Amino acid sequence: MNRARVARHAGQGALLVALFVFLFPIAWLFSTAYKRAADIFAIPPVLTFTPTLRNFETLFEFFNVPQLTLNTIIISFGTAIVALTLGTPAAYALARLDRWWAHGIAYFFLAIRMIPPVAILIPFYLMMRDVGLLGTYWALIILDAMQSTSFVVWMMFGYFRGVPKEIEEAAVVDGCTQWGAFIRIVLPTVVPGLIASALFCILFAWNNFIFPSFLTNSQTRPLSVALVSAYGSNEINWGTMGALAHFSVLPIVALALLLNRYFVQGLTRGVH
Amino acid sequence: MKPSQTTSRRMALGMTAGLGLAAGLATGRSAVAQTTAPMTLNMACMNDPFATVLVRLAPLYAQRTGVRVNVDILSYPELLSRITADFVGRTRNYDLSTMDIVWAGQFAEAGHTIELGPMIQRDSAEIGLDDIYQAAILGIGNFRGRQIAFPFAAYVNVLAFRRDVYERAGLQPPQTMEELISSAQRLTDAPNNMYGWAANGRRGPPVAQDWMTYNAQIGGSILGTDGRPAINSPANARSLTVYRDLFRISAPPGAVNYDWAARHEAFRQGIVAQHQIWTISIPSYENPEISRIVGRTGIMLAPTAAGMAKRYGIGGWGLAINAGIDERRREAAWGFVKWASSAEVQRQFLDANVGVFTRKSVVNDPALRARFPFLSVVDESLTNGDADFRPRIPQYPQIQDLLGTAVNSVLVGTADPQRSLDDAQARAVRLF
Amino acid sequence: MIGLPALLYMVLVALWPLGQGLYYSFTDYTLTRPGRVNWVGWENYTDMFADPSARRAILNTFVFTFAAVGLQLAVGLGLALLLWRESRFNRIALALMLIPVTVTPLAVGLMFRAMLEPDFGILGYWARVLGLSPTRGFLADENLALATLILIDVWEWTPLMALILLAGLKSLPTDILEAAEVDGASRFQRFWRIIVPMLLPAIFLALVMRSMDAFKIYDSVFVTTGGGPNDATNVLMYHAAKIGLEFFQIGAASAVSTFMLICVGLLAASFVLMIRAAESRLGAR
């Protein structure tokens, strides 16, 4: 018993070290929001400072933070919904298909993610102009969803392949339709995968920069674009960036904490 | 959920109403009075200090004229990429844009923005053309006789130095480049975090632009007298060697990776004794919120090499109007341009501690002179201004990139200055 | 078939612009001179291979990809194993650990650049003064700059790797694991004989996804070093973006991106083969 506890504490210790490494830079970034600009880069650099909220004032004066946050949420969640809706059934179909070219199509989806953004940015920009969607949320959701669907198909393909066919076949024998079996029997077993996929889609769209910078206008701009534009002039500077970063980071943390409850061990019981 | 639809519907209504009104108005009156119908213009704005002032003043302009200007603040590379994409794709996202002095060649050649000549002539009385420095008009937005942007934020190249550091060392501010180099060396005291000089070293536009400035002050030139590249001239090679040595002996350790933001931060934190800057940054040194050297900075004309004539490098930003928009929007945009460059608004920039100078009346205003003593330097520079301090030709981005790589490689490694410049020259020639 | 909408979507949104890009790569299409477009054949490609800057970019991109993804996989797997057990501590730790991924990569680059600044950065200053870093700082040193960018990438994306691998671990059938424990298999045996083979799909997914993204690294290079010092951190995407979005030479930029696409494709294909081999050797499905 003791050995297990020691091992567990050692594991937690290691996690704490990892957390420190991952969170220290973020803590620094957040701390710039509470410092005067002259103090952010004081020489020699120290950890103490006198706090101020001026940066938040400046931030709200020059940026429509609620609008930016709303835009980011709409784009990210929209992308995730589209990607999951398109990708999950496709992944299931591919996983259950017993043809040799099923793998081929799966690879095709994978290949989509390989495309360097700069290759399709300008052509896509012009395409969106031609259909009149430039500057709307849809332009960005369409493009982001393309890359996200690819990920979803690949991620869920692996999970679905791991679910033995016998489960559904048993359900069909018991009177379920194919689709019903899918929804009610198969999907619940891959919930961890779905959650991870959703999180990933949201994350990818949340902090994407180069696509939104070209495809959105000042009304539909997300936080990532504003964050970078903030940096550079004398009045809008690191402090404001640090303040804005709060809005870019905290919603996702909240989301992750929320979804974590469903991110549990697979529900497969003895399948015999 | 289609925001653009609502905006375009509103625009359409506004236009119909406006057309009726405009039809009844005589020409010759100022464009500002014509656009009484509500209209929204979109402007792409560089995130230099003037951006925040424009954002603050835009609502006042809307109240006065009914024209709302959305000021979109963008970083430098973003700005150029997006407006070029906008121009070429004819997406008309931006009616107006700030234009860097060095972009004139590209824009003129491609016809991205309208020629303002006729409008300037027509409204010259209202603008008070004589009040604007010739150097600013010719330098910012004029390319081979075509005026494709109007100056509103001219910058002057000056030397900012720490008066207290110089006094402590018993030295006089440098009158020549040679003096600057020797004083930089003497003022460097690394253990006590003081370095005699700083400039950008980062590969790409940062180091290219800074070196071009120094090069001009020392007597070199990127282009030959025939307008073609002369990058590997002996004068240039010499100045590059001097630049490299300055970095090795007198600059902060991180300078080889500095861009403007880092360099200004270093100066504001007090570890740099002097550096060449554009006047836009000067007021920031006096702001206790962001600077630790309040009241200790002196401004003087950037020195040239001994025996050389003085050089008055100017830079800065103009406002350009998208060639793809219709007549009514052009007039409305032109109204905004005139307003932004008017004496009244230029004064407001200075009131907000933003150092832009385009008009003689503003620069020579006694009250402002009392507040900003360095305005005498500004006046001298703009009167004799040299806008071709840096080449404003269409191939500027590529030349800048070649220099950015060549100079950086000399600074960080052991590359030979002459050979690096030879290499850059060979590639530059192919661009023409 | 329910897979059809996804397929059509891809073709429309991705393949069409891609095809255009491929066409452009054989022309001298420049965005600022849209009227004059000429067919130049392979010239854009040969120019790329003749350019020492571009060649260095190719090398740097591959080194970066392998090093960064390798490290992320190793550390990510370790973290996933540590987080496997159900507990409140682990749930919160996971959520907190995802924070680096939520900051836009461009801002991450700016953040680390500020922190690593040798003259006034909170990490860089002390590293320089204590002799832990070269005088010019990590990012200005030709030998360390790329390694620094690799570590920044590891910092940013390891949590995501951990998430994917953790999802894989949690999807493993508990009955088989329990059976193995009951059978008395040692931890080591359990890990290599049972967990890893069943985890291979997740490992493969993580590996391929991250490799494809790492190959396209751009944001951090752009804000920290500009490709320098002296080409030490020049990478393909930066090179392509400069040509395409600064010089507006769409033809040349398309050639670079097409080349990137081929490289990534080959990379992914080799991963597929490797995982297949591993799967058959370790006796999984």
* Residues paired with B301 in a beta bridge: B158
Q: Which residue has the higher pLDDT, A23 or B1?
A: A23
**Domain span including residue C46:** 39-284
- Asked whether residue C16 is domain-assigned, the answer is no
pLDDT of residue A128: 83
- The answer to the question of residue C223 being in a domain is yes
- pLDDT at res. A232: 59
Query: Any chain C CB within 8 A of the CB of A229?
Result: no
Q: Using CA atoms, how far apart are residues B219 and B388, in angstroms rounded to an integer?
A: 13
User: Which of A179-183, B185-189, B395-399 shows the lowest per-residue confidence on average (mean pLDDT)?
Assistant: A179-183
- Is residue C268 in a domain? yes
pLDDT at B5 over 60: no
- Would C73 be classed as within a structural domain? yes
Q: What is the pLDDT of residue A271?
A: 26
Q: What is the mean pLDDT of residues B300-327?
A: 89
Higher pLDDT, A265 or A177: A177
- When pLDDT is cut at 50, 70 and 90, the band that residue B41 belongs to is very high
| Region B420-428 average pLDDT | 91
- What pLDDT digit, counting tens, does each position of B111-162 carry? 889 999 999 999 988 888 889 998 899 889 888 889 999 999 999 889 999 9
Q: Find residues 20-59 of chain A whose CB sits inside 8 Å of chain C.
A: 21-23, 25-26, 28-29, 41-45, 47
Whether C11 is in a domain gets the answer: no
The predicted complex's ipTM stands at 0.84
Q: Which of C2, C84, C104, C161 to mutate to test the interface with A (most CBs of A within 10 A)?
A: C104
Instruction: Find chain C residues with C-beta within 8 A of B88's C-beta.
Output: 31-32, 34, 248
Q: Is residue C226 part of a domain?
A: yes
Q: Which residues of B touch A134 (CB under 8 A)?
A: 4, 91, 93
Nearest chain A Cα distance for residue B2, angstroms: 7
pLDDT in tens, C223-272: 888 887 888 999 999 999 888 877 888 889 889 988 998 898 888 888 87
pTM of the complete model = 0.84
| B229 close contact with C: CB closer than 8 A | no
State residue A2 phi and psi, 5-degree precision. -60, -40
pLDDT tens across C134-158, in order?
Answer: 888 899 888 899 999 999 999 999 9
| Average pLDDT of span B232-242 | 91
In this structure, of A5-19, B198-212, B383-397, the range with the lowest mean pLDDT score is B383-397
Element (H, E) at A84: helix A65-96
- Sort out which chain C residues have CB atoms less than 8 A from B252's CB and list them: 118-119
Q: Is C12 inside any structural domain?
A: no
Q: Which candidate from B88, B201, B254 shows the least CB-CB separation from C117? A: B254
* Structural domain count, chain A: 1
Least confident stretch, A180-189, B174-183, B282-291: A180-189
Task: Give pLDDT, residue A261.
Answer: 67
Residue C186 at interface with chain A, using a CB cutoff of 8 Å? no
With CB atoms and an 8 Å threshold, state whether B201 touches C140: yes
Measured CA to CA, the distance from residue A133 to residue A129 in angstroms comes to 6
Mean pLDDT of B35-64: 87
Average pLDDT over residues C163-170: 83
On whether residue C23 sits in a domain, the answer given is no
Q: Which of A15, A107, A199 sits opposite C93 (nearest CB)?
A: A15
pLDDT (tens digit per residue) in B56-96 = 899 999 999 999 999 988 888 788 888 888 888 788 889 99
A213 interfaces chain B, CB cutoff of 8 Å: yes
Report the 3 state secondary structure along B62-96.
HHHHCEEEEEEEECHHHHHHHHHHHHHHCCCCCCE
Read off the CATH number of the domain in which A211 is found.
1.10.3720.10
Domain count along chain C:
1
User: In the prediction, which pLDDT does B2 show?
Assistant: 41
Q: How far is CA A237 from CA B291, C40, C220, in A?
A: 13, 45, 19
| Residue-level pLDDT at B12 | 37
Q: What single string gives the DSSP state of each residue in chain C? A: -TTHHHHHHHIIIIIHHHHHHHHHTTB--BTT-TT---B-TTHHHHHHHH-HHHHHHHHHHHHHHHHHHHHHHHHHHHHHHHH-S--HHHHHHHHHHTHHHHS-HHHHHHHHHHHH-TTT-TTHHHHHHTTSS-TT-GGG-TTTHHHHHHHHHHHHHHHHHHHHHHHHHHTS-HHHHHHHHHTT--HHHIIIIIIHHHHHHHHHHHHHHHHHHHHT--HHHHHHTTT-STTTT--HHHHHHIIIIIS-BHHHHHHHHHHHHHHHHHHHHHHHHHHHHHHHHTT--
**pLDDT surpasses 80 at A105:** no
Q: Please give the helix or strand (H or E) that residue B98 lies within, else none.
A: strand B96-100
**Nearest CB to A119; choose among C104, C125, C254:** C254
Q: State the pLDDT at residue B218.
A: 85
Does residue B340 register a pLDDT over 60?
Answer: yes
| pLDDT grade for C177, boundaries at 50, 70 and 90 | confident
Is the pLDDT at B248 greater than 70, yes or no? yes
8 Å CB contact of C226 and B404? yes
Residue B98 at interface with chain A, using a CB cutoff of 8 Å: no
Let me know if residue A27 belongs to a domain: no
Q: Which residue range is the domain that position A199 belongs to?
A: 54-269
Checking if the pLDDT of A272 tops 80, the result is no
Q: How far is CA B208 from CA B113, C40, C43, C251, C273, in A?
A: 26, 31, 28, 25, 46
Average pLDDT, chain A: 81
Is the pLDDT at A234 greater than 60, yes or no? no
Q: Are strands B150-162 and B314-321 parallel, antiparallel or unpaired?
A: antiparallel
- pLDDT exceeding 70 applies to what percent of chain A? 92
Flag whether pLDDT at B350 surpasses 90. no
Is the Cβ pair B265, C118 closer than 8 Å? no
Predicted confidence at residue B421, as pLDDT, reads: 92
Stronger pLDDT, B380 or C171, i.e. the higher one: B380
Q: Is the pLDDT of residue C41 over 80?
A: yes
pLDDT of residue A268: 34
User: C-alpha B173: how far from its chain's center?
Assistant: 25
Q: How confident is the model at residue C3 (pLDDT cuts 50, 70, 90)?
A: low
- Quote the pLDDT of residue C1: 58
| Cα gap B404→B306, rounded to integer Å | 27
Q: Is B8 part of the contact surface with chain A (CB cutoff 8 Å)?
A: no
At A37-89, the pLDDT tens digits run 788 888 877 777 778 888 888 888 888 899 999 999 999 999 999 999 988 88
Distance CA A49, CA A40 (A): 9
Looking at the predicted structure, is the pLDDT value of residue B202 above 60?
Answer: yes
Helices C250-281 and C43-50 pack at an angle, to 10 degrees, of 70
Contact between B78 and A227 under an 8 Å Cβ cutoff? The reply is no
Give residues with Cβ within 8 angstroms of C12, minimum separation 6: none
Chains in contact with B, where contact means 3 or more Cβ–Cβ distances below 8 Å, are: A, C
Task: Report pLDDT for B10.
Answer: 41
- In a domain, residue A195? The reply is yes
Higher per-residue confidence, A264 vs B336: B336
CB-nearest partner of B91 from A134, A228, A237: A134
Res. A264: pLDDT tops 50: yes
Secondary structure class of B28 (helix, strand, coil): coil
Which domains, from first to last, does chain B contain? 3-15+24-155+315-379 (3.40.190.10), 156-312+389-429 (3.40.190.10)
pLDDT at A1: 60
CB contact under 8 A, A270 and C175: yes
With a pLDDT cut of 90, the percent of chain B lying above it is 43
Ramachandran area for residue B340 (φ above 0: left; ψ -120 to 50: alpha; else beta): alpha
DSSP codes of every residue in B187-256: H-BGGGTBBS-----STTHHHHHHHHHHHHHHT--SB-TTSSB-TT-HHHHHHHHHHHHHHHHHS-GGGG
Q: How many CB atoms lie within 10 A of CB B6?
A: 10
